[in-house]
Amino acid sequence: MINFDKIIDRSNRGARKIDYPISKGESIDTIQMWIADMDFETAPCVKDALKDLVEYGVFGYTDYNNKYFDSMINWFDKRYNFEIKSEEIVRTPGVIFALAMAVKAFSKENESVLIFNPEYVAFREVTDLNNRKIIESNLKLENNRYYIDFDDVEKKIKENDVKILMFCSPFNPCGRVWNKEELIKLAKICVDNKVIIVSDEIHMDFVWGENRHIIFLDALKDDKELYEKAKKLTIINTSASKTFNLAGLQVANTIIKDKTLKEKLEAEIGKTGYHRISGPAQVALMAAYTEEGYSWACELKKYIYNNILFVKDYIEKNIPKINVIETEGTYLMWLDFRKYGLNDDELQKKLIYGAKVHLDNGLKFGTLGNGFMRMNVAMSKKSIEKSLIRIKEVFN
Ligand SMILES: Cc1ncc(COP(=O)(O)O)c(C=O)c1O
């Protein structure tokens, strides 16, 4: 049995989640529930593989190639019934890097990239920093869930000659797991308007209850024509880093089924001088994408889902002015504090310096995040309980 209740002291280990806010003056006993990594140890099989590598002690240039690709192929086949071939995989040091490369490869300066509002912050950054125009389509909040405004997406794509649509599935920060119909609608719009689709599926293993993650292209497989057309435009970004807490090791995989598209992305990556992912990162991924890794991930998911239910229940009963948006996927909960009528600065200060709980400020994810906070619940239940008691005391 894995003990996810164990509290690990992450301070003074370079953990961005802990050490960075402290360096900015936050009290050391602030509960850090921001940035999307987990406070848990990775799977024992990953630790063992890395220990073995350290024991071996040679860290030269490393390419596991076939062994690595087989781990990927096997994982996607078994877990998602999704067939990939080794020649469809591009290894990168991270999904954000891959997103930036896609922006550069498939659009020119001043051309438009469409993202949602709210949306994961790095989408905005990689677009803006590469001098592309950000076009936003607002998500609609209805019945406590967020929805895509497809008419608006299509209108904005046409009006702005959008070259790339970049989105994440499952959705960070609002917790939606886009369903088949929604993915098909997006695909149709992109195919009709020849827009490149950059689907960031880094949170794919975290879906809750009846929800199922559908890989973007997999959603289209019943419509052969649509599938074939969309395949020529689609880039799927994946990583073991969220599921196995490996972000510090830097490894991600982009899946591109179209050869021309893949070569374009690889050419852009080639220009950076980056050409080989770290050996330890490859070892970690191969150990993670195994039966042992899968069993561990199942236990982890049970624990996190229980945390999600606990937070929802606690807030509903004890801090009812906060509205918890339905969490269909990810370990990030989207909390609506708007009933308190506080401005962004007041809300942040009240949480960080009053309650001593650091959540991600909703505004970071776009203007529609104003009044919302994102809570990372991939941590021990005890710490979560403590954070909720603190929030209750300060906000009630
Ligand atoms: C949707 C999404 N994409 C990408 C990333 C970061 O990926 P990486 O660390 O591989 O660059 C995150 C991390 O929070 C994320 O939530």
pLDDT, tens digit, 9 for 90 and up, residues 221-246: 999 999 999 999 999 999 999 999 99
pLDDT mean across residues, the chain: 97
Q: What are phi and psi of 256, to 5 degrees?
A: -135, 120
Identify the H or E element spanning 117: strand 112-117
Q: Which residue has the tokens 């050391």?
A: 28
- CA separation (Å) from 33 to 18, 96, 246, 291, 352? 9, 21, 18, 30, 11
Question: Which residue segment(s) compose the domain that 101 sits in?
Answer: 58-290
pLDDT at 87: 97
Residue 1 has pLDDT above 80, yes or no: no
**Which is the closest atom of ligand 1 to the Cα of 247?**
9
Of 37, 95, 178, best ligand 1 pocket probe by most atoms within 8 Å of the beta carbon = 95
Q: Tens of pLDDT along 354-369?
A: 999 999 999 999 999 9
Asked whether residue 286 falls in the same domain as residue 297, the answer is no
The mean pLDDT value for 283-312 works out to: 98
Q: What are phi and psi of 141, to 5 degrees?
A: -95, 110
- Our count of domains for the chain comes to 2
Is 52 among the domain residues? no
Asked whether residue 212 falls in the same domain as residue 253, the answer is yes
CATH number at residue 64: 3.40.640.10
CATH number at residue 20: 3.90.1150.10
Residue 368: partners with Cβ closer than 8 Å, 6 or more residues away = 117, 118, 138, 139
Asked whether residue 88 falls in the same domain as residue 223, the answer is yes
Helical H segments across 232-341, by residue range = 241-244, 259-271, 279-288, 291-318
Q: Which residue, by CA, sits nearest to atom 7 of ligand 1?
A: 95
CA 200–ligand 1 middle distance (angstroms): 8
Asked whether residue 284 falls in the same domain as residue 298, the answer is no
CA atoms within 13 A on the CB side of 100: 17
Q: Which of 229, 256, 290 is the last residue of a domain?
A: 290
Q: Which residue, by CA, sits nearest to atom 13 of ligand 1?
A: 36
pLDDT at 28: 94
The mean pLDDT value for 142-163 works out to: 98
Is 121 among the domain residues? yes
Q: Tens of pLDDT along 67-92?
A: 999 999 999 999 999 999 999 999 99
Token pair of 133 as six digits: 């125009």
Is 50 among the domain residues? no
Asked whether residue 321 falls in the same domain as residue 338, the answer is yes
pLDDT at 275: 79
Asked whether residue 30 falls in the same domain as residue 126, the answer is no
**Which is the closest atom of ligand 1 to the Cα of 330?**
16
